[in-house]
Homo-oligomer: A and B are copies of this chain.
């Protein structure tokens, strides 16, 4: 077994647990509220944990929502290529796991010849449930 086990610190583990248990993306201050019973008292403690967790690819930030979600893409150890679908109605967010898409985007080059190491894509629309309810 060559699986490199990332050793998380206490606060990082607490914050990650909350995010992984959540049904959708969580906002920083909502995380803070949730972890106060576990000893984390200040925003900065949360933000520092979030920063680290993003860095190692355990979570992602949904930029359009300023919210944080656990990575479901087990094979993106350090996640530089992210894509999400976001329902405009119920706000449900799902990480998109699509090899064709990620290959397409990872290999994309614009006319300036600039090659990209990282991208974030956010799709917006209505999820199936919300489409039916309309």
A interface residues, Cβ below 8 angstroms from B: 63-64, 85, 88, 94, 96, 98, 101, 104-105, 108, 110-128
Number of copies: 2
| Partner pick for A125 among B85, B98, B118, B124, CB 8 A cutoff | B118
- In the complex, the 7 A-B pairs of residues with the closest C-beta atoms, listed nearest first: A63-B63, A116-B125, A116-B123, A118-B124, A121-B121, A119-B123, A117-B125
Q: Which residues does chain B contribute within 8 Å of A85, judged by CB atoms? A: 110, 112, 114, 116
- Closest chain B residue to A127, Cβ basis: B114
- Closest chain B residue to A96, Cβ basis: B110
Q: Which residues does chain B contribute within 8 Å of A121, judged by CB atoms? A: 105, 119-122
| Partner pick for A120 among B64, B105, B108, B112, CB 8 A cutoff | B64
Cβ B114 vs Cβ A128 within 8 A: yes
Q: Which residues does chain B contribute within 8 Å of A94, judged by CB atoms? A: 110, 112
